[in-house]
Each structure stands twice: as C-alpha cells, then as structure tokens.
Structure 1
C-alpha cells in the first residue's frame, strides 16, 4: 500500500523559446506507466468539489492545464493537500489513495492521464469501504 507521501509533484520537461513553452509527456519516459486513458475536467462551477473516490490499481498523473485547484489526498491515516497551478508540473497519484478536488479557479482545466482504461471495478466510492480496504 502506498502513502500520501509517495504521491508527489513531478517536474515535467519544459522547453522554452521566444515562441512559447512546450511540455511533452511520453509513456515510460517522463511518466512511469503507459497512458491508456486521458480525460479532463473543465467548467467546474466555483465552490464545487470533484473526486470523492479511490482506485485499487489505477495510477494517475494530474496536470493543471489552466487555472488552479487543490487535491486532497488520503491514505486512511494521513492526508495531504496539493495545490496545482502550473502546466509543467504533474501530481503523481499512486494506487490506493482517496482523492478529492476542490477550490477550482474560474477557467481551470484539470488533465488526467491514467494507467488503464475506465473500469468501475477499480473504483472504491464509499469512504468506509476505502478504510476497510486500507486496513487489509
């Protein structure tokens, strides 16, 4: 089982010139898994929260493409808040971590790169069930 301390901000490569910046994410190069699913959250109303679940095996890289938001990570013992507002940085969320997303700024876009395709069986959506899972 992973802890929230193992979920870290990863500096993505940023290539800068006078025409602007580019950041590239490549499977097993800049990201430690093959990306099998990509989605993004946008037009999230101010004051809304997202997430409220964990995954048994899914790994994710989260990037704030625009604006900002805060992830609240929970491993059943410890919690950690991570503020994202820089598209050259990704939050690496390991399996077995509960996550909630809050404090979306106006115009924010949250990009999610996942290690597997969608599978409802991989979700734990009840916090009490999550705690039972974490305790083994």
Structure 2
C-alpha cells in the first residue's frame, strides 16, 4: 500500500490561459473547512514534522516545487510536488515533513477542519505510540 495518494485535477483552458477547479467532496474526499498556503520559505528550511489525529489535508504546489516525506509509522515514502494540477493527500495519522522548497514555491493546503492545536501530534515518539 502506497502512502502517496494523489488527486489529479482537471485543467481547463483556452488561448486566454488555464483554470483548475477543486471542489469539496468531488475533486477531494472531504468538505474544505480551511485553506492556507506557505510561501517565501528560506533555503534549507523544513516544515511539517507532525501528524493529525482526525484532520485530512490535500497539498497542492501552486508554483515551484517541494519534497514531501510521508510516514505511517511502518513505511516511509518521499515524493516531489511540482504540479499545480495535482494534490497529495495527507491522511489521518500520517507523519509528514516538507523540505527542499524552491525559491518560488507556493504550497496551498486544503484542510477538512478548522485549526485545532489538540489535533496535532508534534512528537515523533508520541506519534509512534499513538499508532500502536
């Protein structure tokens, strides 16, 4: 079983340009309750380093690129996000790390719920205990 679950979004367009539409419960498997994006990340900075107990997210690299490490406590997989028409599912109880951001990277994340600090697991050791 792969930890890398991608959603390919339809790209529509004509001579005026392209358009990608992402619809809750159609393009992605949940209702969107929060959207945030990361940009201006300095060279060598890594982000993430947590898992969520209940939150699901889909990450889309709108510009540039970055790498993801996905970890379910048993398996680890890495991938590069560099397409603005493809999203990576960050599922419940998946430790994730983002790194090697290009200078022009804009990483948008669609989340299934509002921010709730109590949903975060920020210690890798605690994450491993929780999944057992």
Q: TM-score range by the shorter chain?
A: over 0.9
Aligned-partner SS, 2:130: helix
RMSD between aligned residues: 1.0
Aligned-partner SS, 1:45: coil
The answer to whether the 8 A contact 2:53-2:93 is kept is yes
Task: Report whether the alignment pairs 1:21 with 2:22.
Answer: no
Task: Report whether the alignment pairs 1:45 with 2:38.
Answer: no
Q: Which ranges in structure 1 are unaligned for 5 or more consecutive residues?
A: none
Residue by residue over 1:67-104, the C-alpha shift from the partner in whole angstroms, topping out at 9 and shown as x without a partner, is 00011000111001121111000001110000000000
Give me the TM-score of the superposition, normalised by structure 1.
Answer: 0.94
- Number of equivalences: 132
Give me the TM-score of the superposition, normalised by structure 2.
Answer: 0.97
- Whole-Å Cα distance in 1 between the matches of residues 128 and 4 of structure 2? 18
Structure 2 equivalent of residue 126 of structure 1: 123
- Whole-Å Cα distance in 2 between the matches of residues 27 and 57 of structure 1? 17
